[in-house]
Amino acid sequence: MSKEYPLLFPELVEQFNSLDDSDEDYIEDEWEEEGLNYKVIEYPSNDISPYNDFRVLCYKNNFYRCSFDDHAIEGYMSKELFEKYNDDYFDEEYIVSGEWIEINEDSEEDQAPEGYYSFSIPSIVQLLDGGKKIDNRCINEDHEIDTDWLIDTDEKDFKNIIYGVYGFGKEVLFNDEFVIKERYNG
């Protein structure tokens, strides 16, 4: 049985800090790549995500998850890139990351350039401690989890966060034929 997604930010931090190989209550993964540490906990569906289990990523000492508010990351990728990695990342019947991406293969209704498919992925938010002061005001006294858009995040970090939250491979995300046009459409 999985542990619940916490309501308070300090509880989230504690869950990440207390994980080890003996803790079987979480589906979690930790790895280091290119000098960066990624740590992921998968939580079961709940009030904010009633249909899908979801992942929370700790990356550069910050926490991220799907926004669950109908905003989407939108862009397009080449048909060749899609076909090459379809079995690895886009087949929603067999691949977890495939459950999160919608790909429009209908070129007549598509806004993508010729030879490309458009895609849509739920947007990502950073999780913040709501009890911390922002502009000299407390959002709340209980340290509830607050969220914020990734507006000032550079493209490389943004794609690394997508990589950790959804599981799409870097060979796709950092390919020139994978283009993000909007981070928050909706």
Q: How many structural domains is the chain composed of?
A: 1
Rounded-to-integer distance, Cα 114 and Cα 129, Å:
44
Q: Percent of the chain scored above 70 by pLDDT?
A: 83
Beta bridge partners of 73: 121
Whether 116 is covered by a domain: the verdict is no
pLDDT > 60? residue 136: no
Whether 136 is covered by a domain: the verdict is yes
Whether 101 is covered by a domain: the verdict is no
Whether 184 is covered by a domain: the verdict is no
Whether 28 is covered by a domain: the verdict is yes
- Whether residue 40 contacts residue 57, with contact meaning beta carbons closer than 8 Å, is answered with yes
Whether 24 is covered by a domain: the verdict is yes
pLDDT tens across 27-41, in order? 678 888 888 889 998
Whether 30 is covered by a domain: the verdict is yes
Question: Domain containing 158: what range?
Answer: 9-70+122-169
Confidence band for 20, pLDDT divided at 50, 70 and 90: low
pLDDT > 60? residue 68: yes
At residue 12, what is the residue type? Answer: L
DSSP letter, residue 53: -
Whether 82 is covered by a domain: the verdict is no
Rounded-to-integer distance, Cα 67 and Cα 122, Å:
7
Distance of CA 161 to the CA centre of its chain: 6
- In sequence order, what DSSP letters do the residues of 114-160 get, joined into one string? TTEEEEEEE-EEEEEETTSEETTEES-SS-BEEEEE-TT--HHHHHH
Beta bridge partners of 118: 76, 104
The runs of H, that is alpha helices, within the chain are 9-17, 79-85, 155-166, 170-173
Token pair of 48 as six digits: 């904010």
